[in-house]
Amino acid sequence: MSEKSAAETVSSNSAGDPLVRFVNVQKSYDGEVLVVKDLNLDVERGEFLTMLGPSGSGKTTCLMMLAGFEPATHGEIFLDNQPINNVAPHKRGIGMVFQNYALFPHMSVAENLAFPLEVRSMNSTDRKKRIDRALSMVQLDGFGHRRPAQLSGGQQQRVAVARALVFDPDLVLMDEPLGALDKNLREQMQYEIKHIHEQLGVTVVYVTHDQSEALTMSNRIAVFNDGVVQQLAPPADLYERPENAFVAQFIGENNRLQGVVEEINGDYCTVRVGDGTVIKALVVNIKSKGEQCTLSLRPERVYINPQAGGVENIVQAKVQELIYLGDHIRARMMVCGNDEFIVKVPNSADKSALQEGVEAPIGWLAADCRALAS
């Protein structure tokens, strides 16, 4: 559902041609290992696209190639339909927010913001107007005379965002900009950046390894692993319908059961898992009977003491450990021979039913249990 609406949002404010295109881009630093393997990726105009992946997955390298700080070993990158492989970074007109803000320490906030405007030889009255506007956009009116060192981490972060936007670039790149902030501030800044993006309609390419950050802010997320885009989809799709075992594992929490496909019946199949239990699951990318597969199941889609007939799969589980987390309780259970099976139990009145060491029936819908080729 959200895939369509997000795609519509994107296509509605673009003329159909993407702002950024990666075409068969490869990158190697040492001539032996490809950090980015054959990347093909379009970034639509006005889109907030996040490159998400573990460290070393090639996402930052892609951003650096787009910014012009790393040359592509092979392939072509297009910005606004122009190939930019041979365009110097300062001629690309791309705003950038760096991991540690990179605010110039020997300049005041206003001087920092003036830098891109001076380079463009803007006169001082226009410059002042722009700087004031940018500062008020990030709610830092009156901070212009301060030095970056006199600001808190969150304020520095906002200045960095204002500086990347002050010269009205079409494209802004953000390289893990919230990594250095504490959790509360990070969440607050996520919303602020999201709102600024919505207000200005600027295209943002955002790099992070924090999946909740990616889910909160993005129109689309490209999940990177091992130099390859594993899945490119809107946040809800990525969470609800991961296309492979890596995405399922990387986005959100996930229970995995290894098994062999017994039978395929249209959209559904039956899988015999480790201890012999047969489980009904949704077919995602398995092909044939007898194939090894991984069943992927979200912890919040598992029900304790399900009503008979309400769910397709019911198994016996033994509670190994209970962790109290306020709004919910995490129960680690032994299920089908896997003792790392996590169930999220809402913190409601019936929680007393669970005790460590107790056996209880648990169940889940076949539609929630995705059979992925392993």
Partner 1 sequence: MATAAHDLTSNPSAPLIADDGVPLKQKLARTTRRQRIRAFMLTVPLLAFLVITFVFPIGKMLVRSVNNPTVANVLPNFATAIQSWDETSSDYPDEAVFEAFVTDMQAARKVREIGKTVANVGVRVNYEIPGTGSLFKSASRKLAKVEEGPYKEVVLDLHKKWNNPLLWQTLKRVSNENTATFYVAALDRTYDIDGNVVAKKEELQIYVNIFWRTLWLSALITGICLVLAYPVSYLLSVLPLKTSNLLMIMVLLPFWTSLLVRTTAWIAILQSNGIINNILVWANVIGDDSRPQMIYNQTGTIIAMVHILLPFMVLPLFSVMKTIPPSYMRAARSMGGSWAYSFRRIYLPQTLPGVAAGTLLVFILAIGYYITPALVGGQDGLLISNLIAFHVRSSGNWSLAAALGTLLLVVILVLYWLYNKFIGVDNLKFG
- Are the C-beta atoms of 318 and 334 separated by less than 8 Å? yes
**Minimum distance, C-beta of residue 302 to partner 1, in the bound complex (Å):** 44
**Minimum distance, C-beta of residue 256 to partner 1, in the bound complex (Å):** 38
**Minimum distance, C-beta of residue 94 to partner 1, in the bound complex (Å):** 6
Residues from 95 through 124 that contact partner 1 (CB under 8 A)? 95-96, 98-100, 102, 104-106, 115-116, 119-120
Q: How big is the site for partner 1, counted in residues (CB under 8 A)?
A: 27
Look-up: residue for tokens 């008020």? 136
Using the minimum distance from each CB to partner 1, give the nearer residue, 164 or 257.
Answer: 164
**Minimum distance, C-beta of residue 104 to partner 1, in the bound complex (Å):** 6
- Are the C-beta atoms of 239 and 251 separated by less than 8 Å? yes
Using the minimum distance from each CB to partner 1, give the nearer residue, 205 or 232.
Answer: 205
Q: C-alpha 85: how far from its chain's center?
A: 26
Q: In a 10 Å sphere around its CB, with 0-12 CB exposed, 13-18 middle and 19+ buried, how is residue 199 labelled?
A: exposed
Using the minimum distance from each CB to partner 1, give the nearer residue, 101 or 341.
Answer: 101
Using the minimum distance from each CB to partner 1, give the nearer residue, 1 or 88.
Answer: 88
Write out the two tokens for 116. Answer: 């891109």
What's the rounded Cα separation, in Å, for the pair 349 and 361? 18
Q: Which residues contact 334 (CB under 8 A, 6 or more apart)?
A: 317, 318, 320, 341
Residues from 181 through 220 that contact partner 1 (CB under 8 A)? none
Using the minimum distance from each CB to partner 1, give the nearer residue, 99 or 258.
Answer: 99
**Calculated CA dihedral for residues 269, 275, 277, 281, nearest 10 degrees:** -30
What is the H or E stretch that residue 285 is in? none
Residues from 139 through 168 that contact partner 1 (CB under 8 A)? 163-164, 167
**Minimum distance, C-beta of residue 356 to partner 1, in the bound complex (Å):** 46
Residues from 15 through 74 that contact partner 1 (CB under 8 A)? 67-69
Using the minimum distance from each CB to partner 1, give the nearer residue, 155 or 231.
Answer: 155
**Minimum distance, C-beta of residue 153 to partner 1, in the bound complex (Å):** 16
- Angle between helix axes 153-165 and 124-137 (nearest 10 degrees) is 130
What's the rounded Cα separation, in Å, for the pair 27 and 266? 41
- Are the C-beta atoms of 223 and 241 separated by less than 8 Å? no
Write out the two tokens for 229. Answer: 């885009």
Per-position DSSP letters for 241-257, written without gaps between them: S-SSHHHHHHSS--EEE
Using the minimum distance from each CB to partner 1, give the nearer residue, 107 or 185.
Answer: 107
**Minimum distance, C-beta of residue 63 to partner 1, in the bound complex (Å):** 11
**Minimum distance, C-beta of residue 227 to partner 1, in the bound complex (Å):** 21
Q: What track of x and - describes contact with partner 1 for positions 80 through 99 (by CB under 8 A)?
A: --------xxxxxxxxx-xx
Residues from 270 through 329 that contact partner 1 (CB under 8 A)? none
Binding residues for partner 1, rule: CB under 8 A, are 67-69, 88-96, 98-100, 102, 104-106, 115-116, 119-120, 163-164, 167, 173
